[in-house]
């Protein structure tokens, strides 16, 4: 275990002492705790921190460290302040100053503030912290050299001064004025002799606590919680950024790995997570943040993470893998990126080759694919630089070719908007067991990857992993008050049966469409619709249609279809109107405007789910919008050959 200690004017001599296992750093500024976390610190001690001329260390930095299971101790100065504020979240306060702030005895931040010289001179004190002056006055009173009332008067007079004006000579002058000329000289001498440095004493206590923890002593338990990734905090994470290979490290470490394409098969782990990240758009900042979250996860050594990155930043563009720092003696993984020129994440070849390489190089008991970026129902990995995106046909073709000979994936995660579609789940049945997706707009922060790593490291099977990831996503969204967030995990093989049941509903609706067009469209408009307006919740829609039309044959087929849809859902939850299980959660394509239907029909008809099990649903939409299966090519085009824009 390694520890980082931020200390300066409270105990400057620590910078000159050999402290095995402890890296001594100057007073912490904004971002320094996150940097220590990214460098692999397992214990952080905070004594001193900057303020005023430079942004101070944020509370959320400390919360992020605690959430990752890293112990954070605070004492004496900035550390005591932060510990008093964050001890309910597991930050461990040390010393009398921390206790005074925690218990409300001290309130003002400037009690621990002092003016000091530069670090190059050892932070020489140019004023005296008020906590030290109070402790000195209390000691003088305890020895009977001044009365309690005199000590209180002196403390009030000194506290009323601006903190740079609080000095030991000022203390002596105030005491001389209070006690009078007869006692002044004696009190001055004793004030010098009995001066107390309580900040240094508390800093020494924290150092002893750090050493005990490094030797194996237990620390305070850290409760489980989720740190809200607010926009300012995400900007800070992005500014710090995951460092490209070799940045800020010894040159030998940057070249410690062979080219990723030549890596031999690695030792098997529990999970391999192939990640296809399309950030050559307005998500570039979020990509940096998610990579930073990923690298901060302590459990990262227990699984393989590799993939393709695309962004406007050349340093975050190319094939990547998270690997141990080979040959350096460091266990902390590093992000290895092979920079490449402009990428087109709308090219299915890129995804196909990623799947082949990840399967051959990173064996695991379970395999997952994360599709990261903008989603729009049947398009994903939208690439602004290339004005392209993966259609569902191209996605299925890449999966078919990339997974040839290796079997289906255990889990596909769509960290993208509007991808929880019943038709898509049925399409994915040959290539994945479980899908995790949202039928709504996904907050820009997406999945909390630091928690995702911990979940996959512990999960005993894909079902447990999918359910826990869904919970982590909603925990994070709730912490950031993203009330529209919802998520669903579902089995793909059961989605095929559900789509067949929906097809039978479509067959009956096609028979009723001519005479019941008005009630059908009314039910459609009242059903729960995603922000991508052509998508509607399948369960809510079907039940509304059954009630609106009052046809017994339709009611029977709707009941069977709803039962089949619910059977394929592993877990479905939403935050609105309150956090909890949600009926349905899988969308269907049902445009209300004939023009929109005709624009997307050819691509929709080409989908495997619509060519066989769900063909009745397309027949219904054709009848409703006055289209002819013969004229529109109901049998569809071969997969991946469709040029017509895809429906959302």
Instruction: Give the length of the chain.
Output: 648
In the predicted structure, residue 327 carries a pLDDT above the cut 50: no
Per-residue tokens: 163: 């903190």
Q: Tokens 């004006």 map to which residue?
A: 165
Predicted local distance difference test score (pLDDT) of residue 325: 52
Q: How confident is the model at residue 627 (pLDDT cuts 50, 70, 90)?
A: low
Among 140-144, 350-354, 383-387, the minimum mean pLDDT is found in 383-387
pLDDT of 635 higher than 90: no
pTM: 0.66
Predicted local confidence at residue 25, as pLDDT:
96
Q: Tokens 């028979």 label which residue?
A: 511
| pLDDT for position 68 | 84
Q: Is the pLDDT of residue 628 over 80?
A: no
Question: Can you tell me the distance from the alpha carbon of 583 to that of 541, in angstroms, rounded to the nearest whole number?
Answer: 12
pLDDT tens profile 177-230: 999 999 999 999 999 999 999 999 999 999 999 999 999 898 888 887 777 777
Band the pLDDT of 1: cuts 50, 70, 90: low
Q: How far apart are the first and last CA of the chain?
A: 50
Architecture of the domain made up of 237-245+266-493: 3-Layer(aba) Sandwich (3.40)
Half-sphere exposure of 634 (CA within 13 A, CB side): 16
**Within its chain, how far is the Cα of 107 from the centroid?**
34
Which residues, 6+ apart, have CB-to-CB distance to 130 below 8 Å? 108, 110, 111, 112, 113, 158, 159, 163, 166
Q: Which residues contact 454 (CB under 8 A, 6 or more apart)?
A: 297, 298, 299
| Segment 499-505 mean pLDDT | 97
């Amino acid at each position: 275990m390694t520890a980082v200690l931020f200390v300066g004017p409270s105990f400057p001599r620590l910078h000159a002492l050999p402290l095995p296992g402890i890296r001594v750093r100057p007073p912490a500024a904004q971002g320094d705790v996150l940097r220590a976390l990214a460098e692999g610190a397992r214990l952080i001690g905070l004594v001193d921190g900057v303020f005023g001329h430079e942004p101070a260390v944020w509370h959320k930095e400390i919360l992020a460290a605690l959430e990752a299971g890293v112990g954070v101790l605070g004492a004496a100065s900035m550390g005591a302040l932060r510990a008093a504020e964050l001890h309910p979240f597991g930050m461990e306060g040390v010393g009398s100053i921390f206790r005074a702030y925690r218990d409300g005895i001290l309130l003002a931040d400037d009690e621990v503030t002092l003016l000091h010289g530069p670090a190059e001179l050892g932070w020489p004190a140019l004023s005296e912290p008020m906590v030290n002056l109070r402790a000195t006055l209390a000691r003088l009173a305890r020895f009977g050299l001044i009365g309690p009332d005199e000590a209180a008067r002196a403390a009030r007079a000194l506290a009323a001064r601006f903190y740079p004006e609080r000095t030991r000579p000022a203390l002596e002058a105030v005491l001389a004025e209070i006690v009078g000329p007869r006692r002044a000289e004696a009190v001055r001498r004793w004030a010098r002799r009995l001066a107390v440095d309580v900040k240094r004493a508390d800093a020494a206590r924290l150092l002893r606590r750090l050493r005990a923890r490094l030797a194996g002593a237990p620390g305070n338990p850290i409760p489980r919680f989720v740190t809200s990734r607010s926009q300012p905090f995400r900007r800070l994470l992005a500014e710090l950024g995951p460092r490209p290979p070799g940045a800020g490290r010894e040159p030998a470490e940057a070249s410690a790995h062979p080219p990723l394409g030549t890596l031999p098969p690695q030792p098997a782990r529990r999970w391999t997570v192939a990640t296809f990240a399309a950030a050559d758009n307005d998500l570039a900042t979020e990509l940096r943040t998610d990579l930073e979250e990923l690298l901060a996860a302590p459990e990262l050594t227990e699984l393989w993470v590799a993939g393709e990155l695309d962004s406007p930043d050349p340093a975050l563009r190319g094939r990547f893998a998270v690997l141990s720092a080979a040959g350096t003696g460091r266990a902390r993984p590093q992000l290895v990126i092979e920079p490449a020129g402009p990428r087109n994440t709308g090219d299915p070849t890129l995804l196909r080759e990623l799947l082949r390489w990840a399967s051959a190089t990173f064996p695991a008991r379970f395999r997952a694919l994360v599709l990261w970026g903008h989603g729009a129902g049947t398009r994903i990995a939208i690439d602004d630089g290339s004005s392209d995106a993966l259609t569902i046909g191209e996605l299925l073709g890449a999966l078919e070719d990339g997974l040839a000979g290796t079997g289906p994936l255990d889990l596909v995660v769509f960290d993208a908007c509007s991808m929880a579609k019943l038709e898509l789940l049925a399409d994915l049945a040959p290539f994945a067991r479980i899908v995790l997706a949202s039928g709504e707009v996904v907050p820009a922060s997406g999945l909390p990857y630091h928690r995702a790593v911990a979940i996959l490291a512990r999960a005993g099977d894909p079902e447990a992993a999918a359910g826990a990831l869904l919970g982590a996503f909603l925990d994070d969204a709730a912490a950031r008050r993203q009330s529209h967030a919802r998520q669903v995990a579902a089995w793909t093989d059961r989605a095929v049966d559900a789509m067949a049941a929906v097809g039978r509903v479509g067959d009956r609706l096609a028979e009723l469409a001519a005479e019941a067009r008005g009630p059908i469209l009314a039910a459609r408009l009242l059903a729960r619709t995603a922000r991508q307006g052509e998508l509607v919740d399948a369960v809510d829609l079907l039940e509304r249609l059954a009630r609106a039309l009052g046809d017994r044959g339709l009611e029977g087929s709707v009941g069977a279809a709803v039962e089949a849809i619910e059977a394929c859902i592993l877990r479905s939850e939403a935050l609105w109107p309150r956090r909890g299980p949600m009926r349905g959660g899988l969308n269907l394509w049902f445009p209300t405007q004939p023009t929109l239907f005709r624009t997307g029909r050819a691509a929709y008809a080409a989908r495997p789910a619509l060519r066989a099990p769900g063909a009745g649903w397309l027949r219904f939409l054709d009848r409703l919008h006055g289209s002819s299966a013969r004229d529109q090519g109901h049998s569809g085009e071969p997969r991946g050959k469709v040029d017509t824009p895809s429906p959302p």
